[in-house]
């Protein structure tokens, strides 16, 4: 009599049905598509699908389908040339309204989408796209912190009306001998207690050291306050810069409308960005890696910028810039605010010229309100700052050189009082669009520079898919022939179980949203081999029991019970290896490890439970079972 519980058979049927349903979207494949996201962050509605498909039809492009997913409009097309023509048509009809990404969309029917099902994400090597690795200038992150300390110290001393001679940052040495901090020289040592209290409020974690200095020519003694960051504080700020850059890069990716992007830390100071389905590398690199921000400064109305440029030295308290026409502009060193205090930004048209509408956070709004109220009739400038790293030929070798471009894009007289909302003009339409994206996404906490760049075309990705699937089919075919020839009826059961194992593995990859790559396909082929091994252990144990004279039904029970420990031990050791690969590996190694670990789970379920349920269904319930086709 069968000892296999009925509920286990029902469980196997339910799991296989659900797994087949979840894995079904992967059967339909993908097609090139456009993904439209509104720049005002409003969501598309299903009613707008017909409008845009009709627009493309007028441009000679016939979409396969259009639908709304997560508030974004996806328009599926027949081929890549149609995709590019459709993008140009939408940009021409609705300039500067959408973030348009070239991507891929599943061909699955609408009823599957209605169930919330999606195909498994594919890696860059299968889907095509862009892979970038950025090096983060972590030392530059500390330099930015020191500049903020310097600026905040000046503001704190002015707020307390304490006279000072200088406020300078300390940025000396490298490695363990590095000295990073800030020095404040007070004009009067008598104001030391109050000055110390004012500057310490900037950052309670800083430890300030007091040093008394007496001028050589006599007079009142001065007081010097010096603070140095500890190595732990420097490391913490460098780590924060990397995490902040990851957040900013994620925001910039979202502003481009890219779906299923991966932005993650790689090593100590690098960030890897994977953008599946994206083919426009120039736009992505220009937006993602651009280290651009704004500074707002008051203009100097006393000194001559022409004289400062001629002498090559700006007066104390000022800094010399150039505007876009190359004319010198003299601005005060005191910052009103920076791009870090911007809450939102959008490109627009004001009086027929491009502009960027800016919204500040509460702190920035208060500072702008105070500045405009106290400086009516005086000029205020907007300085555009862009950093980049270029390769220069020095002594026959290519050397990376950091360049900083600073120019005044707007210099206007303050005519009225305003606070947290205003417009920036004096820029081109394209510059306004890019600047709005960068400011809206958030400033990078430290400059980043591309150290690796790969572009995988969609045709190459499809070729990788075809080759990978062909390898899996050949592997399954050879195993099926061997199993059917060597184990006959039980071999056919093993073939069914292997097929179910592949379906369940695809379903788990779809549910976990783990991207499938070429190493992942290798993991699937390896999983098939491991699943076959488990079935062979069971079948050989059944044959051994039959040779010893045991009845067929008892041999089935003994075969599964006796092989369990060997199968379990072997899969657990492999699972441990897979977990180690996932924890310590990166990129393709992690992809292989994920598929391997999930494949172990599915192979154990199908070999021990699925195979048993099918064997019991065919042979286990027969009243007069005298032999087994094994």
| CATH assignment at residue 599 | 1.20.1640.10
- pLDDT given at position 441: 55
Which residues constitute the domain of residue 611? 6-25+457-620
CATH number for the domain harbouring residue 150:
3.30.70.60
| Whether residue 299 is found in the same domain as residue 410 | yes
Is 464 or 56 the better-scoring residue by pLDDT? 56
| Whether residue 479 is found in the same domain as residue 385 | no
Give the domain-ending residue among 92, 107, 122: 107
> What total of structural domains would you count in the chain?
4
| Whether residue 15 is found in the same domain as residue 39 | no
Q: Can you read off the two tokens belonging to residue 337?
A: 């605010």
- pLDDT given at position 1: 47
| 244 within 8 A of 445, measured Cβ to Cβ | yes
Based on C-alpha coordinates, what's the Rg of the chain?
33
Adjacent-strand bridge partners of 79: none
| Whether residue 83 is found in the same domain as residue 168 | no
Q: Which DSSP category does 516 fall into? A: B
Condensed to tens digits (0 to 9), the pLDDT of residues 261-286 reads: 778 888 778 888 887 766 666 667 66
Of 510, 520, 490, 484, the residue nearest 620 (C-alpha): 490
| Whether residue 193 is found in the same domain as residue 341 | no
Mean pLDDT of 232-236: 80
| Whether residue 310 is found in the same domain as residue 161 | no
| Whether residue 468 is found in the same domain as residue 601 | yes
Residue 18 binned pLDDT confidence (cut-offs 50, 70, 90): very high
Condensed to tens digits (0 to 9), the pLDDT of residues 431-467 reads: 676 666 656 655 566 777 777 777 776 666 677 778 8
Does 208 reside within a domain?
A: yes
Give the domain-ending residue among 233, 254, 281: 233
Mean pLDDT of 53-66: 83
CA 600/CA 605 separation, integer angstroms? 9
Does 195 reside within a domain?
A: yes
For the beta carbon of residue 507, count every other beta carbon within 10 angstroms: 23
Does 120 reside within a domain?
A: no
Does 371 reside within a domain?
A: yes
- pLDDT given at position 390: 61
Mean pLDDT of 141-166: 78
Mean pLDDT of 8-18: 88
Mean pLDDT of 39-64: 79
Is 291 or 524 the better-scoring residue by pLDDT? 524
Q: Can you read off the two tokens belonging to residue 84?
A: 């590019």
Mean pLDDT of 251-268: 73
Does 485 reside within a domain?
A: yes
Residue 581 binned pLDDT confidence (cut-offs 50, 70, 90): confident
Q: Can you read off the two tokens belonging to residue 351?
A: 């009086």
- pLDDT given at position 114: 83
Is 402 or 152 the better-scoring residue by pLDDT? 152
Mean pLDDT of 300-323: 85
pLDDT at 346 over 80: no
Of 184, 202, 182, the residue nearest 192 (C-alpha): 184
- pLDDT given at position 461: 65
Does 397 reside within a domain?
A: yes
Is 417 or 373 the better-scoring residue by pLDDT? 373
pLDDT at 427 over 80: no
CA 159/CA 624 separation, integer angstroms? 99
Does 269 reside within a domain?
A: no
Torsion angle, alpha carbons of 421, 426, 431, 434, to 10: -10
CATH number for the domain harbouring residue 319:
3.30.1360.200
Is 64 or 363 the better-scoring residue by pLDDT? 64
| Whether residue 296 is found in the same domain as residue 391 | yes
Residue 21 binned pLDDT confidence (cut-offs 50, 70, 90): very high
Highest mean pLDDT among 18-22, 345-349, 354-358, 460-464: 18-22
Condensed to tens digits (0 to 9), the pLDDT of residues 190-215 reads: 777 787 777 777 776 677 666 666 66
Does 518 reside within a domain?
A: yes
**Which residue's entry shows tokens 């962050």?**
41
CATH number for the domain harbouring residue 46:
3.30.70.260
| Whether residue 35 is found in the same domain as residue 21 | no
Q: pLDDT > 70: what percent of the chain?
A: 83
DSSP characters over 390-414? EEEEETTEEEEEEEEEEEEEEEEE-
Helix (H) or strand (E) holding 423: strand 421-425
| Whether residue 15 is found in the same domain as residue 47 | no
| Whether residue 516 is found in the same domain as residue 602 | yes
Give the domain-ending residue among 233, 250, 265: 233
- pLDDT given at position 210: 65
| Whether residue 542 is found in the same domain as residue 473 | yes
């Amino acid at each position: 009599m069968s000892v296999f519980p009925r509920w286990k058979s029902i469980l196997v049927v339910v799991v296989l049905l659900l797994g087949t349903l979840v894995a079904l979207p992967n059967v339909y494949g993908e097609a090139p598509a456009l993904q439209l996201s509104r720049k005002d962050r409003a969501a598309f509605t299903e009613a707008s699908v017909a409008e845009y498909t009709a627009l493309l039809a007028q441009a000679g492009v016939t979409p396969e389908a259009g639908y709304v997913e997560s508030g974004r409009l996806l328009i599926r097309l027949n081929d890549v040339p149609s995709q590019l023509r459709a993008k140009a048509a939408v940009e021409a009809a609705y300039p500067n309204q959408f973030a348009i990404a070239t991507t891929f969309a599943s061909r699955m029917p609408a009823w599957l989408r209605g169930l919330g099902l999606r195909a498994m994400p594919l890696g860059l090597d299968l889907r095509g796209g862009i892979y970038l690795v950025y090096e983060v200038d972590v030392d530059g992150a500390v330099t930015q912190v020191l500049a903020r300390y310097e600026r905040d110290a000046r503001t704190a001393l002015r707020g307390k009306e304490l006279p000072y001679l200088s406020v300078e940052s300390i940025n000396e040495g490298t490695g363990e001998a590095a000295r990073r901090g800030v020095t404040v020289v007070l004009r009067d040592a008598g104001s030391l207690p109050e000055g110390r209290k004012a500057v310490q409020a900037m950052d309670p974690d800083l430890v300030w050291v007091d040093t008394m200095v007496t001028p050589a020519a006599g007079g009142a003694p001065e007081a010097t306050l010096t603070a140095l960051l500890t190595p732990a504080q420097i490391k913490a700020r460098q780590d924060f810069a990397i995490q902040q850059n990851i957040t900013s890069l994620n925001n910039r990716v979202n502003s481009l409308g890219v779906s299923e992007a991966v932005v993650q830390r790689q090593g100590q100071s690098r960030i890897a960005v994977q953008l599946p389905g994206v083919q426009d590398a120039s736009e992505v690199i220009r937006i993602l890696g651009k280290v651009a921000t704004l500074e707002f400064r008051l203009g100097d109305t006393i000194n001559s910028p022409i004289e400062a440029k001629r002498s090559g030295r700006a007066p104390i308290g000022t800094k010399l810039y150039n505007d876009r026409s190359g004319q010198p502009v003299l601005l005060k060193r005191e910052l009103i605010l920076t791009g870090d205090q911007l809450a939102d930004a959008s490109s627009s048209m004001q009086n027929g010229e491009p502009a960027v509408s800016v919204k500040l956070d509460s702190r920035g709004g208060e500072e702008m309100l105070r500045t405009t109220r106290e400086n009516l009739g005086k000029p205020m400038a907007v300085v555009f700052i862009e950093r980049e790293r270029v390769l220069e030929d020095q002594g026959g070798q290519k050397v990376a050189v950091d360049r900083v471009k600073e120019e005044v894009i707007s210099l206007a007289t303050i005519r009225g009082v305003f606070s947290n909302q205003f417009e920036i003009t004096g820029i081109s339409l394209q510059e306004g669009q890019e600047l709005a994206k960068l400011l809206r996404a958030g400033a990078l906490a430290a400059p980043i520079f591309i150290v690796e760049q790969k572009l995988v075309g969609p045709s190459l990705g499809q070729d990788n898919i075809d080759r990978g699937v062909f390898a899996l089919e050949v592997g399954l075919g050879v195993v099926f022939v061997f199993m059917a020839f060597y184990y006959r009826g039980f071999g056919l059961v093993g073939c069914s179980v292997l097929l179910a194992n592949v379906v369940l593995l695809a379903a788990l990859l779809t549910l976990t949203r783990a991207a499938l790559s070429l190493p992942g396909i290798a993991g699937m082929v390896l999983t098939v081999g491991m699943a076959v091994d488990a079935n062979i252990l069971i079948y050989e144990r059944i044959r051994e029991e039959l040779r010893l004279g045991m009845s067929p039904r008892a041999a089935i029970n003994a075969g599964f019970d006796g092989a369990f420990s060997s199968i379990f031990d072997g899969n657990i050791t492999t699972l441990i290896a897979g977990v180690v690969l996932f924890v310590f590996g990166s990129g393709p190694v992690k992809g292989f490890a994920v598929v391997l670990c999930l494949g172990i789970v599915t192979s154990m379920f199908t070999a021990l439970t699925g195979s048993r349920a099918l064997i019991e269904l065919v042979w286990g319930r027969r009243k007069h079972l005298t032999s087994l086709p094994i």
